[in-house]
Amino acid sequence: MTVTAPDKAPVAAPPKAGATRLVDRVFKMRELAILVVFLVMIAVTQAGNSEFLSEQGIKDLLLNATILVLVATGQSLVVITRNVDLSVGSTLGISAFAAGTYLQGGGNPVVAVALAVLMGIGFGLLNGLLVSLGQVPALVVTLGTLYIIRGIDSIWVGSRQITAADLPGGFVDFGSGGVSAVPWLALIALAVVVATAYYLKQFGGGRELYALGSNPEAARLAGIPVRKRILAAYTFCGALAGLAGALYLARFGNVDSSTGNGYELTVVSAVVVGGVVFTGGSGSVYGAALGAMLLTSINSVLPALGVSSVWVMAINGILLILAIAVDRIVALRLATALKKRNARHG
């Protein structure tokens, strides 16, 4: 008599893997929702103003978003680690002036950009060291460095102003040029976003940033170099703020002591609206970039529809509050779903 072995019961997928897939689905939906809102807003504006999506209109839309997309990309890494960098606006301003001062003396544009990035890296390192090694709350540290950098900038710049006439023609032309309706600056920003997203997803160091933001103590017990990762996030954020300063100079050709004032609040709004949770551990740079696109496009959409630009700040505030509310609702529902899934798997 032949004895047939009973079929093995199917092995259930580990709850952790299922939870990860659930989180991924939730935040992909969030990014999709932001994209839909953005496209609907553009479509409504085009219906009300047929010239809005002309070649120059698209170019201006992309140029306006480029600087914010870059800084929001760097900020998103810091926020993912459950921290924040409020000094990015000041870093952008002083880096732009440093690059402009160098170019005024007949310097090479490539070296000027490198100088701005290095200056941003220096300030990012300072923030990262104070937060990671000094164990000082990020909000306090970066608020302090915001005022320190702004003070240095004000003393250095004084009443001086750099204009497009002081800069090499090729540098200014690069800031406004591109391929048809796609500016060079937008292509640079896109390359940075894609490379950063790839790093976060494919490299261990990127995944460790999420683990750190989700549970710093658990990450530390798991052997993740917490201080090193925080330092890296702040350094990268500073580098992108410096790069944004150089591109700001190329885009507008005008820098003074007020450049970048208040920019940090717009950056934080773009990141949070884009789905990067302020309590850390969730979100993506694609979402942050979409949030930046959404906020900057409002500045173009309202005038095109004949609405006063004084509503821009109010709408940005409403979007920020809605984003925080959505994050809270999603977090509660996600926690409930994970509890149910874990209970099913014992």
How far from 206 is each of 162, 198, 263, 319, 330, CA to CA, in Å? 38, 9, 26, 28, 23
51 or 99, which is more confident: 99
pLDDT band at 345 (very low <50, low <70, confident <90, very high): low
Reported confidence tier of residue 9, pLDDT bands at 50, 70, 90: very low
Report pTM.
0.85
What's the CA gap between 309 and 304, in Å, rounded? Answer: 10
Instruction: Check: CB of residue 227 under 8 Å from CB of residue 125.
Output: no
CB atoms under 10 Å from CB of 318, counted, come to: 11
Q: What integer is the mean pLDDT of 174-195?
A: 92
What mean pLDDT, rounded, does the chain reach? Answer: 84
Question: What whole-number percentage of the chain has pLDDT above 90?
Answer: 44
Separation in Å, CA 152 to CA 133, 157, 245, 260: 24, 8, 16, 14
| Interval 165-172 mean pLDDT | 89
Q: Give the per-residue pLDDT at 339.
A: 74
Mean pLDDT of 185-207: 94
Confidence band of 36 (pLDDT split at 50, 70, 90): confident
Of 250, 267, 242, 211, nearest in space to 84 by CA: 267
CA distances from 127 to 115, 140, 148, 181 (A): 19, 10, 12, 38
Helix (H/G/I), strand (E/B), else coil: 119: helix
Give residue 334's pLDDT: 63
Ranges of each domain in the chain: 53-344
Q: pLDDT tens, 249-297?
A: 999 989 998 898 988 888 998 898 888 888 888 888 999 999 899 888 8
How far is C-alpha 226 from the geometric centre of its chain's CA atoms? Answer: 21
Task: Pick 53-344's CATH classification: 3.30.70, 1.10.10, 1.10.3470, 1.10.860.
Answer: 1.10.3470
Burial of 213 (0-12, 13-18, 19+ CB in 10 A): buried
Closest CA to 93 of 309, 252, 232: 252
Cα(28)–Cα(201) distance, integer angstroms: 14
